[in-house]
Amino acid sequence: MTAQRSGCPINLTLETLGDRWSLIVIRDIMFGNRRHFRELHGASDEGIASNILADRLKRLVEADLLSRAEDPSHKQKAIYSLTEKAIQLVPLLVQMGAWGRRHLPVSREMSVRQELLEEGGPALWDAFMDELRTLHLGVPAKGPSVLARLRQAYEEALAEKG
């Protein structure tokens, strides 16, 4: 983040998303449906520190990428939801995953979901975004669950790993 501004869409996107932790948090909410602080903290392989997690959640709410509400089922707990703006990051995250799968030492179980999304193309991304709108924005469900399909592929890859 910086005081310098330009009207370039790539630059503004990079400024808005901030450092890598913001996208790691969005990834965990989006693909892992982790909605509470405690689920987000400690669960991911990257081991985000609690002060960084707290800061990034605050920034993401300020940037209108997450919304925060009291969870009616858990007193004293906040639940985080993706906004429409964050849901529309799906194609960007798919391309990030596609590039990583091709050029970096990814693990099988962590890349199988990205592989499915990449192969499914824009039609599957749209279906996944619709499902996220159901989960996070309360929009009625339109079709079969993409997340369930991604989760199944992940669990199968994990089982194969042994």
Interaction site with its own copies (CB under 8 A): 2, 4-16, 19-20, 23-24, 27, 44-47, 85, 88-89, 91-111, 114
Name the minimum Å distance from CB 4 to its own copies: 5
Nearer residue to its own copies within complex by CB, 54 or 93 = 93
**How many residues are present in the chain?**
162
CB 80 within 8 A of CB 68: yes
**CB 158 → its own copies: shortest distance, Å?**
12
Report in angstroms how near the CB of residue 128 gets to its own copies at its nearest: 14
5 vs 75, beta carbon nearer its own copies? 5
- Helix (H) or strand (E) holding 139, with range, is none
In the complex, least distance from residue 98 CB atom to its own copies, rounded to whole angstroms: 7
Contact in structure between 81 and 136 (CB atoms under 8 Å): yes
What is the Cα–Cα distance from 89 to 73, expressed in whole angstroms?
28
Amino acid at 15: E
Tell me which amino acid residue 83 is. Answer: T
| Phi and psi, residue 121, nearest 5° | 70, -175
Q: Nearer Cβ to its own copies, position 7 or 144?
A: 7
Nearer to its own copies, 15 or 55 (CB): 15
